[in-house]
């Protein structure tokens, strides 16, 4: 694999523009440990230039017909498909996810998001409302919200940005993306594909940097709204900085998997392990804890271990690798500290439990199963974000519900049961935005509404297909006096 070190440039108003910022970040591959890019942070001037470019492009972009914008979205999807393998190879090198099992599907779904947005925008209907006055006609139109700042994380470096970009631009918004400082290369390559497919200048712009650049972007006078996907601590800062600007926020989860005494334990074990290890557990809807009824505990744990042993850690370019390196050291350290805390409080490591030695980097974490996890642990309360299946035994549905809901991160839960009645009791009582019955917490489809529950700190709005498009547009109400009498 060629490891030439590129220097990334911001993308502003249709051109790659050298950054005027002074601080330069080295992007080091979690797979090989080699430096693969140098990325200067955008300066204040770069950020305001990008926001101005998005502002200038927005009216004429919004004035195109939905069909014209849709045509460009389809062209982008086709070009991503054409470049899929190269983009996926680079994604693996920068992010660490397995090439065949995950990077290729990420790119396919990135393209699919543009197709969904292209077709949704053609059917973005809005109501005509009866009037009290016989002379009046009340119509509504969906209008784009204007210029968005898109602030995104490193676990899905094309797939999460596209969840904002595709519905956002299809509906007539323009956007300035600030990708994660850990994975800027994927965004640069993705941007190139959008530009090559014929996206007009200024519709999508990209600036690089970390929190400081993000905050500058959010507060820029030319940015109207914010789309954010990342951790809940950052979400709180973003919301404070954004003030009254419109926002779409999707933050951390603490996905409980609930395994009832009547569950199909083989199916539950497969789902819990998939949710624990997919993307090395670095997913907002990952299996963060498994609440298993104590009567099913021993059989379930044995099934989990048998399944977990199939998940081979290794070189993410090998076809049979299912777990690659974690993306970055702070996240791996969080996994270290959560495990240590659980063990100190009586948990027992059944499989894995540490970083794997003899690898090109120290980020290859052994897929880990840990049993007897207490409810007083960091694992139970916070998001671990690593390749881990933590098992907590509970005594019946009431206790499972209590432990599941004793959380400030109510994003997604999974429930395994053969009883529809029981499943719906959980569906109705869990304080989460999304419940999956008899499949993994990581089950999602690109067009389904996905997001947090009110009353928890997981954000608001919905990511996914037309639901994001509804969040990124608003109704313009028009009252017409038809002068009939």
Q: How far is the CB of 450 from ligand ADP (least distance, A)?
A: 16
DSSP classification of residue 15: E
Q: Is 284 a catalytic residue?
A: yes
DSSP letters spanning 99-147? IIIIIHHHHHHHHHHHHHHHHHHHT----EE--SSTTEEEEEEEEE--E
Smaller CB separation from ligand ADP, 121 or 238: 238
Q: Which of residues 171-190 bind ligand ADP (CB under 6 A)?
A: 178, 180-181
Smaller CB separation from ligand ADP, 232 or 270: 232
Q: Does 148 bind ligand ADP (CB under 6 A)?
A: no
Considering only 48, 95, 145, 152, the residue that binds ligand ADP (CB under 6 A) is 152
Q: Which of residues 214-253 bind ligand ADP (CB under 6 A)?
A: 214-215, 218, 230-231, 234, 237-238
Tell me the residue nearest to ligand ADP as measured from the CB. Answer: 214
Distance CA 89, CA 464 (A): 25
Q: Quote the tokens at residue 25.
A: 């970040």
Q: Which stretch binds ligand ADP (CB under 6 A): 145-153, 333-341, 343-351, 455-463?
A: 145-153
Q: How far is the CB of 278 from ligand ADP (least distance, A)?
A: 16
Distance CA 174, CA 168 (A): 7
Of the candidates 94, 109, 215, 250, the residue annotated as catalytic is: 250
Smaller CB separation from ligand ADP, 180 or 412: 180
Q: Which stretch binds ligand ADP (CB under 6 A): 23-31, 194-202, 206-214, 315-323?
A: 206-214
Q: Is 18 a catalytic residue?
A: no
Smaller CB separation from ligand ADP, 211 or 374: 211
Q: Which stretch binds ligand ADP (CB under 6 A): 39-47, 161-169, 191-199, 209-217?
A: 209-217
Q: How far is the CB of 382 from ligand ADP (least distance, A)?
A: 13
Q: How far is the CB of 270 from ligand ADP (least distance, A)?
A: 26
Residue with tokens 């069909």: 67
Q: How far is the CB of 410 from ligand ADP (least distance, A)?
A: 17
Q: How far is the CB of 213 from ligand ADP (least distance, A)?
A: 7
DSSP letters spanning 186-254? HHHHHHHHHHHTTPPTTSEEE---SHHHHHHHHH-TT--EEEEES-HHHHHHHHHHHTTSEEEEE----
Of the candidates 284, 285, 288, 307, the residue annotated as catalytic is: 284
Distances in whole angstroms, Cα of residue 100 to Cα of each of 78, 104, 111, 170, 436: 20, 6, 17, 30, 25
Whole-angstrom distance between the N-terminal and C-terminal Cα of the chain? 77
Q: What angle do CA 62, 9, 160 make, to 5 degrees?
A: 55
Smaller CB separation from ligand ADP, 153 or 227: 153
Distances in whole angstroms, Cα of residue 372 to Cα of each of 291, 294, 380, 389, 444: 10, 11, 11, 11, 29
Considering only 62, 124, 210, 427, the residue that binds ligand ADP (CB under 6 A) is 210
Q: Is residue 282 exposed (0-12), middle (13-18) or buried (19+ Cβ within 10 Å)?
A: buried
Q: Specify which residues 258 forms β-bridges with.
A: 291, 415
Q: Does 154 bind ligand ADP (CB under 6 A)?
A: yes
Smaller CB separation from ligand ADP, 248 or 347: 248
Q: Does 452 bind ligand ADP (CB under 6 A)?
A: no
DSSP classification of residue 180: -
**Residues lying near ligand ADP in the complex (CB under 6 A):** 151-154, 178, 180-181, 210-211, 214-215, 218, 230-231, 234, 237-238
Active site residues per annotation: 250, 284
């Amino acid at each position: 694999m060629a490891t030439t070190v590129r220097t990334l440039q911001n993308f502003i108003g249709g051109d790659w523009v050298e950054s005027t910022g002074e601080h330069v970040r080295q992007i080091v591959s979690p797979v090989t440990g080699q430096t693969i890019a140098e990325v200067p942070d955008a300066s204040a001037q770069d950020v305001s230039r990008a926001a101005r470019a998005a502002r200038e492009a927005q009216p004429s972009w919004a004035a195109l017909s939905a069909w014209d914008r849709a045509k460009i979205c389809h062209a982008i999807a086709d070009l991503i498909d054409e470049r899929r393998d190269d983009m996926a190879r680079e994604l693996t090198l920068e992010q660490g996810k397995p090439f065949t099992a995950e990077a290729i599907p990420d790119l396919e779904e990135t393209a699919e998001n543009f197709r969904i947005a292209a077709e949704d925008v053609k059917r973005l209907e809005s109501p005509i409302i009866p009037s009290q006055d016989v002379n009046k006609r009340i119509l509504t139109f969906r209008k784009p919200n204007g210029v968005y700042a898109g602030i995104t994380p490193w676990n899905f470096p094309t797939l999460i940005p596209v969840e904002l970009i595709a519905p956002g631009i299809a509906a007539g918004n323009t956007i300035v993306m600030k990708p994660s400082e850990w994975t800027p290369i994927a965004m640069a390559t993705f941007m190139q594909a959008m530009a090559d497919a014929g996206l007009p200048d200024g519709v999508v712009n990209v600036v690089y940097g970390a929190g400081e650049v993000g905050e500058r972007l959010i507060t820029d006078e030319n940015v109207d709204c914010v789309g954010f996907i990342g951790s809940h601590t950052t979400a709180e800062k973003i919301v404070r900085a954004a003030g009254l600007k419109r926002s779409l926020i999707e933050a951390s989860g603490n996905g409980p998997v609930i395994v009832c005494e009547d569950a199909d334990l083989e199916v539950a074990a497969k789902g819990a392990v998939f949710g624990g290890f997919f993307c090395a557990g670095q997913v907002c809807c990952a299996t963060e804890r498994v609440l298993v009824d104590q009567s099913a505990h021993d059989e379930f744990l044995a099934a989990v271990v048998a399944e977990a042993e199939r998940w081979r850690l290794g070189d993410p370019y090998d076809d049979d690798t299912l777990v690659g390196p974690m993306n970055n050291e702070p996240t791996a350290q969080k996994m270290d500290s959560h495990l240590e805390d659980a063990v100190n409080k009586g948990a027992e490591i059944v499989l894995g439990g540490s970083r794997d030695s003899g690898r090109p980097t120290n980020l290859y974490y052994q897929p880990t199963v840990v049993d007897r996890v207490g409810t007083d642990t960091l694992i139970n309360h916070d998001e671990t974000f690593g390749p881990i299946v933590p098992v907590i035994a509970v005594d019946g549905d009431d206790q499972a519900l209590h432990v599941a809901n004793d959380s400030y991160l109510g994003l997604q839960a999974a429930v395994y049961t053969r009883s529809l009645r029981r499943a719906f009791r959980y569906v109705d009582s869990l304080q989460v935005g999304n419940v999956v019955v008899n499949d993994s917490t990581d089950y999602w489809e690109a067009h389904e509404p996905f997001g947090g529950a009110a009353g928890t700190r997981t954000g608001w709005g919905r990511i996914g297909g037309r639901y994001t498009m509804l969040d990124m547009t608003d109704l313009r109400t028009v009252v017409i006096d038809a002068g009939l009498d």
